[in-house]
Each structure stands twice: as C-alpha cells, then as structure tokens.
Amino acid sequence: MEQQLLRTLEATCIQEELPFCTAACPLHVDVRGFMACLAKGDERGARRVLDRTMPFADIVGRICDEPCRQACKRSEVGDPLAVAALERHCVTSTAAVLKLTKLPDREGKVVFFGSGLASMTAALDLARKGRSATILTTEREIGGSLRRLGEERLPLAVLDAAVEQLGSYGVNIIFDCQMDAEFIEYTLNFYDAVFMDRDWSAIDDFCLDCRHPNPLSLAVARPGCFTGGGTGPNGYSVIRQVEEGRRAALSIERYLQKVSLTAGREREGACATRLFTDITSIEPLSVIAPADPAAGYTVEEAAREAARCLQCQCLECVKQCAFLQAFKEYPKTLVRKIYNNQAVVQGTRTANTMINSCSLCGQCTLICPHQFPMAEVCVTTRQSMVLDATMPPSAHEFALQDMAFSLGSEAAMLRHQPGKSSSRFLFYPGCQLAGSAPDLVEKTYLHLTRHLHDGVGLMLGCCGIPAHWSGRQELFAATMEEFCTAIQENGNPLIITACSSCYVTFKEFAPQLQIRSLWQILEEIGLPAGKRAPLSQPMTIHDPCGVRKEPEIRASVRNIAGQLGMNVAEQPFSGELTDCCGFGGLMQFANGPLGEQAAERKARRSSLDSLAYCAMCRDNLAASGHRVAHLLDYCFPGEGLADPLLRPNPGFSGRHENRARLKAQLLASLWQETSALPLEHKRIALDIAPQVRELMEKRLILEEDLQKVLLHAELSGRFLEDPHTGHRLANHRPVRVTYWAEYEVRDSGYRVYNAYSHRMILPERKTA
C-alpha cells in the first residue's frame, strides 16, 4: 500500500472526526469525554477534561456561554444537554486536578496591553511555551470586564486566584501602569511581539488601529502586533475571548519562529465536522434539571443529566461487523495496521491474521456514510503479499485444497443432457450445494431438463473464488480461463447458477458469459407438483452476502417462497445489509472462532426458524445449532416428508464425500458411465467418535486425510505403539500438511481416538 493511498483511506473514515459539540466549541473542549466522566460519577475525571483544554477552568467553567449546546445532537431527540450548568457544577465542586507542563525558557519577549480574558489566555499559553510574557494594565486588578459580572456569577476570589496561576508560569503583571504615547512606542519597540486586548478600556486611544485584524491570525498592520478579545457592543462571547487569546498566542508563536501565520489553521476555533451519528433508535429525553436551581446540580443529578449524552461517534460499520469487533478496530486504525504490516522488512508481521479474517462481504461499505472500501483493501493486500511472498499459505491452504478437490477428477464433470449433443443451457450448482445436498442437485437438474428445451447440460466444479479471496490471482485467472474455455467449447450455453458466489464471480470476472440465477429460472418455469410438508410456522429469510447487489434474485426467492405458501418474515439485516455466514473471504478457514461468531451473529438476527438459499449459509447456520433449511429442501422435498430444518451440517469430510458420490451416481444413473475404482486409501474403514469428528472440523482435517495416514503407517510400519493401550500414533505428509492420528487396529477397521495437524515445513539441515 502506497502512503498516498493510506492517507486517502484514512481521510475516508470519519470515526475520529470531532463530535458535534466539540467542533462547535472554539476551544474544542472534549464535551463527550467530560459527560462520560460525569455520567459515572467521576468528578475528578470530568475536571481533568476541563483542565486539559480550558484555560482558567475555574473562570470559564462558571461563565461559559456554551456555543456547543446549539450543536448538541441530543437536541434532535429531546432537549440538548445542560453543558454550562454541568461545567459550573464541576468547577465549583472539584478543585483543579491537572497542571499543564511548562517548557524551558526560550528567547522571545511578548507584551500584553490590557488584562482581559483574551490577554490572560494568550499570556498563559505563551508562558507555557517558554516565552517571556508581561501583562500591562492600567487597572489595579486583572480580568477587565469580567469583574463587572457580579460576585454571584464570578466570585472575585476566583479572578484573584488566576493571578497566582499566571505567576506560577512566570507571567509578569504590572498593575496601575501609566501609558503615554512615548511609553507605548518604547514598549512596541522593546518587545518582540505585542498583543492588544480589545477589552482594555484605553484601546480606542491606542496608536494602532485594532478594529480590523486578520480574521485567521488576528494580526494588525504593524508586524508583530496582534489583537483580540472584547465583550459587550462588539458581540464577543466569553468563550470567544478565550478562543481569540489562544488564536493570538499561536500566531505570536509562529511569528517568533518566522513561519507562516496562516498555513494549516483551517480547523482552529469552531469548525465543521463530518461525523455521522445514527439517532433513529434513540429515545427522546428531557433535560434533568437540578432540584434546587440556586444551588445547582448535585453529584447524582449531574450524573443523570450527563448520562443523556449520546457519546456521539460513528462506528456504524463496527456495530454490525463481527470482524471489526473481534479485532477492536475501525477502518482508519485498521488500514494503518495493514500499512505498517506490509512495511515490515525484518520482524514479525502481526496483522496477517487480521488481514485474512475479513469476509470481504462489503456490508460495512454499504453501512459506512462514506463507503469505506474495506473488502477491497483486504483483498488487494492479500494479493500484494502473495506476490511478495510475505503471506504464509497456511491460512487458506485448506480452502484451496478443497477447491482443487472440487475441480479434480473425483468431483468435477461436464456433460450434455443425456441424449443431446449440444446444450442451450448449463446447470452449474457450485461446489458447496453439491457438497451439502447432492440429492437436491440431481432433483433440480432433472426438473430443469423437463421444462427447458434444446438441452440442459450439467457441470460440477468450483468457480475458483477461493483463489481470488486468498489473493492467489494467478491461480484464480487460470481457473477462470479454463472454465471459460470449457463453456466456449460447449457452445456458450446460458449458465444457470444455484450459488450466489458463482453468480457474482462470473458476472464480475467473466462478463462475456451468459448467466442467470436458478431462482429466476425456477420462478419462470414453476415448481414441481407433489406433496409437501405443511409450512404454517413463520420463517426468516437469510440472504447470502453474494446477492447484496442483486435485488432481482432476492425478489425471485421471495416469490418462490410465496408460491410454496411459506410465511416469511423479514429481519432488518436482510437484502443489501445482510451478514456473511463466515464462509465469505475464507474467514472460517483463516480464523475458525471468528467464522463461528459470524454464523452465530447471522442466525441471531431473528428468533424464528431460518430459511437460506445459499448452501454455505445453511450449513454454517446449522453448525451453530440453529434450525435452518435450504429453499430447495421445500422445492424438492425428500421421501417421508422429513423436516428439512433438522438436516445436519455435513462437515468438510461429508462435503468431499458428497461431491464424489454425486458425480459417480449421476454418471451411472443418467449417462450410464462407470466411475473409476476408489483409491486404495478410500477402502480403509474408520470408526470416529462424534467428539473426534468435531475436533477434525475445527482443525480442518478430512476423513480422507486420516485414511492416508493409516495406509502409509500400516504399509511402512512407521508408527509408535503404546504397549498398555495398544494405541498407535502415526503421521504422514501427503502434500504440505503433516497429519497425525492416534488409532487402534480392530477386526472391523480402525478406531480413531485423536487427530491433529501442523501446516509448516521444517528446512532440512545442510551438511558440509
């Protein structure tokens, strides 16, 4: 990933944009953090938030005119938060807990004419940066117009305490200063920079025009001179006085450093924010007023009022994505980790598992207000790391072996309809339906041959999408080329896909092909007549993520369900917003526990029985313990009207076996062809306990893998045997994975007690 692309992607994510209240505050006070502390009764934490960003918090916290309140998102669903009253409660009940650091002294002397809040703020900020700061005032006390607010709003003792605060940072204050023209001119020449507070009573007699400063830097005509502040007729708020003091301090610092006064300052003061916060499900709430308005909030009342804060943030994608939740990331932080992971030259790439765990389903992009391309980022990263040989193959190796099996001689086939020499149509069920429910493949194919004319061919195989998801673009391109060549050599028939992944793969990567969804075809030609189980109970349709952008296919599915008399209930996350079941992007292979969480999350979208029309959705939801059926189960019911909701998940070994048997059965029953004899290891009979089969599923070990281990062990005699139990332990590495089996020889075959594997290659020791 190039750094420029990283910056573009980071800017697309809005999670770190300022909350609406903070953006509207000229000081960018962390109101959200302040409210979070108060809501849990952490008064010192709340005061720390104010001390961090609010100069003279004891002053400003008492008299803040809360411009943030007008921007409060809570006002759209109830009353806005009582920010100023809560700030007043905090500063009056809790002493300062944070003293900001002071840098070592540096060159640069700054003088401040007038001692209003703007001068006080600018002097404090510059003194903290190590600059020499001197306040000149004709008054006997600091504060300017603040002293006229009244003891009830702002006790004079608080202003007096500000003098001590300024002194602690080294600010020199000269009271009762007599200023004539000669003194002012001398002062202007003696100091390196000057600030003129418009709250100063003598400002109108000053020798410089302070009425029209630069709106961004607050600079006036004379170099090194700045102005700001003021109240009353000029319309400046108290918080604006502080903001202009802070703005002027930054301008003076830039002036002393001889850098631009205006560059990169667009987000100073009140600014816009792109943050999005969903309030559609938020309950309107009224303001919690103190029982005694004169006394203000109690700690308990303040906590209740602060608890109304929505804690505005986006995280819309994170709220729905099991992947982002599992890694505790949002798009901006995730792409930064991906960038850093790719930049590693020597050391451990700690983000590989994260990169491989995304389901690539695209739900987060549709949810995101700015369409962050998470799936594209993850898949292109996998591709580049595969090309650079920096992505270990172990995460996706099992899935690619499964794909190779589906494309191999045991499971793949291509035939014209029996008795036909050409095909106008070609039924392509996909590897997962063939592995999950081979009987439904056969029934569907026969139904198509009865209602479609001019020949319906049949092709068993895999579209190759696992290679694309794993970043193996060369393998994916070769698979697609071989598929397209076979289609062209067979007259370019219309491909009828039962699998949503196959449909979108062909549509995106082979647009020259003619494709239609099986569901659209079934809607047109009708369903077979026959006795079906009653369907009185309501069910929820779980759309596969592959048809997220295919409304016509989703509509056909629902029409078919209607023809079957099904009572279908929609749930909020269907259609475009549907979840992935954990198969997409090979999530369940790279991160098994996360794949299980994804399936569970999809199933929990509704408490009703589930209806799927993707084989992997059905099997993964069934594996998570939920009652789920495939729509074809109801279109082509089995003998005895068994409940399709109880059909078990076949597991990885079962899918392999089903694909091989489907090919053999179809060749024998429809084309009268004899399949090849089973391989020698297939003759080995295994007795595997259910708990061991469950372990094999989690460890991605097939029954066939163990058959190969046992055949190799028994023929070679390479095994360890426990003389007490008679158990044998053996291993075998047929390709790149080493499989281990603990077993016992019995008259009827072999009893398997445990199985495990490791996907690593130990380099051989070189001899001299």
- Evaluate if residue 743 carries a pLDDT over 60: yes
Are 610 and 603 a contacting pair, CB within 8 Å? yes
pLDDT average, residue stretch 691-704: 88
Are 331 and 17 a contacting pair, CB within 8 Å? no
Q: How many domains does the chain have?
A: 6
The proportion of the chain whose per-residue pLDDT surpasses 90, expressed as a percent, equals: 74
Check whether residue 634 and residue 701 sit in a common domain: no
Q: Which residue has the higher pLDDT, 641 or 688?
A: 688
Check whether residue 40 and residue 83 sit in a common domain: yes
Check whether residue 148 and residue 240 sit in a common domain: yes
Whether 312 is in a domain gets the answer no
Cα–Cα distance, 466 to 379 (Å, whole number): 11
Are 363 and 331 a contacting pair, CB within 8 Å? no
Q: What is the pLDDT of the chain when averaged over all its residues?
A: 91
Q: How far is CA 414 from CA 49, 243, 422, 460, 662, in A?
A: 69, 75, 12, 6, 13
Q: Which residue has the higher pLDDT, 232 or 168?
A: 168
CATH number at residue 701: 3.30.2310
Cα dihedral sign, 752-753-758-763:
negative
Least confident of 3-7, 344-348, 467-471: 344-348
pLDDT at 234: 46
pLDDT at 160: 92
- Evaluate if residue 678 carries a pLDDT over 70: no
Cα–Cα distance, 541 to 538 (Å, whole number): 10
Whether 69 is in a domain gets the answer yes
Check whether residue 174 and residue 245 sit in a common domain: yes
Check whether residue 404 and residue 364 sit in a common domain: no
pLDDT average, residue stretch 617-644: 87
Check whether residue 437 and residue 514 sit in a common domain: yes
Amino acid at 110: V
Whether 765 is in a domain gets the answer no
Q: How confident is the model at residue 236 (pLDDT cuts 50, 70, 90)?
A: low
Instruction: Supply 711's token pair.
Output: 């055949």
Amino acid at 285: L
Check whether residue 244 and residue 153 sit in a common domain: yes
Check whether residue 552 and residue 619 sit in a common domain: yes
- Evaluate if residue 143 carries a pLDDT over 50: yes
Cα–Cα distance, 746 to 73 (Å, whole number): 72
- pLDDT tens digit string along 540-597? 999 999 999 999 999 999 999 999 989 899 988 999 999 999 999 999 999 999 999 9
Residue 564's nearest CA partner among 639, 637, 645 is 637
Q: How far is CA 492 from CA 262, 481, 487, 706, in A?
A: 65, 14, 5, 41
Whether 749 is in a domain gets the answer yes
How many helices and strands (H and E) does the chain possess?
A: 33, 19
Check whether residue 513 and residue 657 sit in a common domain: yes
CA triple 451-453-456, angle to 5 deg? 85
Q: At what angle do helices 374-387 and 331-343 cross, to 10 degrees?
A: 10
Element at 522 (helix H, strand E): helix 518-525
Among 179-193, 222-236, 361-375, 691-705, the range with the most confident prediction by mean pLDDT is: 361-375
Whether 3 is in a domain gets the answer no
Residue 447's nearest CA partner among 501, 524, 500 is 524
Q: How confident is the model at residue 185 (pLDDT cuts 50, 70, 90)?
A: confident
Q: At what angle do helices 703-716 and 651-669 cross, to 10 degrees?
A: 90
Instruction: Supply 290's token pair.
Output: 């103190």
- Evaluate if residue 674 carries a pLDDT over 60: yes
Check whether residue 409 and residue 500 sit in a common domain: yes
Cα dihedral sign, 589-595-596-600:
negative
- pLDDT tens digit string along 501-538? 999 999 999 999 999 999 999 999 999 887 666 677 89
- Evaluate if residue 221 carries a pLDDT over 50: yes
Cα–Cα distance, 591 to 595 (Å, whole number): 6
Residues linked to residue 458 through DSSP beta bridges, in sequence order: 415, 427
DSSP 3-state assignment of 610?
A: strand
Are 116 and 197 a contacting pair, CB within 8 Å? yes
pLDDT average, residue stretch 319-329: 94
Number of Cβ within a 10 Å radius of residue 412:
17
Whether 333 is in a domain gets the answer yes
SS (H, E, C) 123-181: HHHHHHCCCEEEEECCCCCCCHHHHHCCCCCCCHHHHHHHHHHHHHCCCEEECCCCCCH
pLDDT at 768: 46
Listing DSSP states for 231-260 in one string gives -GGG---HHHHHHHHHHHHHHHHHHHHT--
Amino acid at 375: A
Q: How confident is the model at residue 676 (pLDDT cuts 50, 70, 90)?
A: low
Residue 214 burial by Cβ neighbours in a 10 Å radius (0-12, 13-18, 19+): middle
Residue 432's nearest CA partner among 701, 649, 671, 692 is 649
pLDDT at 155: 93
- Evaluate if residue 428 carries a pLDDT over 90: yes
Query: What does the buried/exposed string (b/e) look like for 255-293 if buried means 16 or more CB atoms within 10 Å of the residue's CB?
Result: bbeeeebeeeeeeebbeebebbbeeeeeeeeeebebeee
Q: How confident is the model at residue 765 (pLDDT cuts 50, 70, 90)?
A: low
- pLDDT tens digit string along 93-116? 999 999 999 999 999 999 999 999
DSSP 3-state assignment of 319?
A: helix
Question: 748 lies in which domain range?
Answer: 680-758
Instruction: Supply 640's token pair.
Output: 């005895």
Phi, psi (deg, nearest 5) at residue 687: -115, 110
Are 465 and 505 a contacting pair, CB within 8 Å? yes
pLDDT average, residue stretch 36-61: 96
In the block, tokens 């117009």 appear at 145
Whether 668 is in a domain gets the answer no
Check whether residue 126 and residue 89 sit in a common domain: no
Are 406 and 436 a contacting pair, CB within 8 Å? no
Element at 615 (helix H, strand E): helix 615-623
- Evaluate if residue 763 carries a pLDDT over 80: no
Q: How confident is the model at residue 640 (pLDDT cuts 50, 70, 90)?
A: low
Residue 724 burial by Cβ neighbours in a 10 Å radius (0-12, 13-18, 19+): exposed
Those residues with Cβ within 8 angstroms of residue 300's Cβ, 6 or more apart along the chain or in another chain: none
Check whether residue 140 and residue 252 sit in a common domain: yes
Whether 314 is in a domain gets the answer no
